[in-house]
């Protein structure tokens, strides 16, 4: 349902209610149930529509690790481009929509091209997908909605105040990392996670 994605983009996830959607379609809430059996099903349709925009690389064994990065980046990109979708992705327990399956198959194909066994590829794909969803969710909430800038700032101050109130030697590391943990470093943290995990996978593949 395109209309739902428009509302999501314009007014945020909280505004995507059956009533609001019905209003956009100039009808009543009850009428929506002729096209969708559930709000969950609506969410699933929205997720699938968004995920369909993520490109799927053609596996090339020589480039497999960069292609895995590209696949994950693509998933994250489309989710972050539609803030709120990542939250929906978490709510859906087992995604069995066409786009989800295509993404899953693509991930497995790339990992196998990298020399992993089927089992290794399964587990690695699971971990990478989990991370993609997690990262997209966090990135979305930083850039949008749920928490506004004032609330975020308040939290930051609260944290600093709380930690200052403790003996400084209790949090020697935490007190130093503030500079690394801003929204600006988000992309860098993603690349770090991908690099590290893929480095681990190469160690594994070398042992096969």
Per CB under 8 A, residues contacting its own copies are 90, 93-94, 96, 98, 101, 104-105, 108-109, 112, 118-124, 126-127, 130-131, 133-135, 137-138, 141, 146-147, 152, 155-156, 158-159, 162-163, 170-174, 176-177, 180-181, 188-189, 192-193, 195-201, 203-204
154 is a contact residue toward DNA (CB under 7 A):
no
Q: Which is nearer to DNA, 152 or 196 (CB)?
A: 152
Tokens for 53, please give them. 């925009």
Shortest distance (Å) from residue 25 CB to its own copies: 27
Contact between 194 and 72 under an 8 Å Cβ cutoff? The reply is yes
Binding flag, residue 35, DNA (CB under 7 A) = yes
Nearest-approach distance from CB 38 to DNA, in angstroms: 5
Distance in angstroms (rounded) separating the CA atoms of residues 171 and 160: 11
Give me the count of residues in the chain: 208
The token duo for 198 is 């893929």
31 contact choice in its own copies, DNA, none (CB below 5 to 8 Å, kind-dependent): DNA
CA distances from 37 to 42, 87, 88, 149 (A): 8, 20, 17, 36
**Burial level of 89, CB count in 10 A (0-12/13-18/19+)?**
buried
Contact set with DNA (CB under 7 A): 15-20, 27-31, 33-35, 38-40
């Amino acid at each position: 349902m395109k209309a739902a994605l428009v509302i999501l983009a314009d007014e945020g996830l909280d505004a995507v209610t059956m009533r609001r959607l019905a209003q956009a379609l100039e009808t009543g809430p009850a009428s929506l149930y002729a096209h969708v059996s559930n709000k969950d099903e609506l969410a699933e349709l929205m997720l699938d529509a968004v995920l369909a925009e993520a490109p799927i690389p053609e596996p090339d064994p020589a480039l497999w690790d960069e292609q895995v990065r590209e696949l994950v980046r693509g998933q994250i990109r489309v989710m972050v481009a539609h803030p709120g979708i990542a939250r929906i992705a978490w709510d859906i327990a087992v995604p069995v929509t066409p786009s989800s399956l295509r993404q899953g198959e693509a991930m497995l194909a790339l990992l196998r091209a990298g020399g992993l066994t089927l089992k290794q590829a399964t587990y690695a794909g699971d971990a990478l997908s989990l991370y993609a969803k997690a990262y997209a969710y966090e990135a979305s909430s930083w850039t949008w909605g749920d928490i506004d800038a004032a609330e975020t700032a308040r939290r930051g101050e609260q944290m600093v105040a709380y930690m200052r109130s403790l003996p400084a030697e209790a949090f020697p590391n935490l007190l130093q990392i503030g500079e690394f943990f801003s929204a600006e470093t988000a992309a860098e943290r993603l690349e770090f996670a991908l690099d590290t995990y893929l480095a681990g996978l190469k160690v594994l593949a070398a042992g096969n």
